[in-house]
Amino acid sequence: MLAKALDWMFPSKCALCGIVGCPSICDACRDGFRRLDRSINLATTPLDYRVAIFHHELRAAQAVRRLKYSRVTSLASPLADFVKGAYDELGLDEVDAVVPVPIHWTRRTLRGFNQSELLSRALPAEKVHPELLLRTRRTRPQVGLDRSKRQINLLGAFRASDQVAGRSILLVDDVTTSGFTAEHCAQALKDKGASRVGLLTLTGEI
């Protein structure tokens, strides 16, 4: 009864186009998410492989921005389901641990959540270990910085736990563009002996 009354007063609506009476991502908006279906192997960087589920464009890019900057957390559940779907489909359950890419605690306090942790929420809880990687330094947002400034911005920003030694790690993030953030995470994990590090993101330009 209460749920029905609440639904009448605050009808559910699509968080992307605003149409009422549908889930937080409506079918039309869902159709605007274009699968990337491509992963790359990166033998020359600390990151061993990189997979993005959707092109970072249109509705998919809007979803990333709405979740992160507008804090529309109703998007967390359907987006986490996309991540879980790709994780199963690609056989990534073979990894020893999933580590959401960390944000600095001050940013987390301001935002109220880490979007990467929200996106990891549908993955098996026993696999998800945010405590294995810390962001020890607050960095400027990478957006708007050129390549060399992006690299410098991230130097020494992450510290991994000794617990990662000998384990294969899957990093999860919302979006990847240059891949520098994940590479710096991977370097910190490999410095502590991680055997293999990959990246799964919701959207990307790869």
What residue ranges bind Zn ion (CB under 5 A)? Answer: 14, 16-17, 26, 29
Residue given tokens 């992006």 in the structure block: 150
- Residue 18: CB minimum distance to Zn ion, A: 7
- Residue 7: CB minimum distance to Zn ion, A: 18
DSSP bridge pairs for 35: 54
Residue given tokens 């390549």 in the structure block: 147
Of residues 12 and 187, the one with the C-beta less far from Zn ion? 12
Of residues 14 and 92, the one with the C-beta less far from Zn ion? 14
- Residue 78: CB minimum distance to Zn ion, A: 11
Count of residues for the chain? 206
Of residues 16 and 67, the one with the C-beta less far from Zn ion? 16
Of residues 25 and 206, the one with the C-beta less far from Zn ion? 25
Of residues 77 and 177, the one with the C-beta less far from Zn ion? 77
- Residue 13: CB minimum distance to Zn ion, A: 8
Q: Are residues 152 and 137 in contact, defined by beta-carbon separation less than 8 angstroms? A: no
Specify burial of residue 61 (Cβ count, 10 A radius: 0-12, 13-18, 19+).
Answer: middle
- Residue 21: CB minimum distance to Zn ion, A: 11
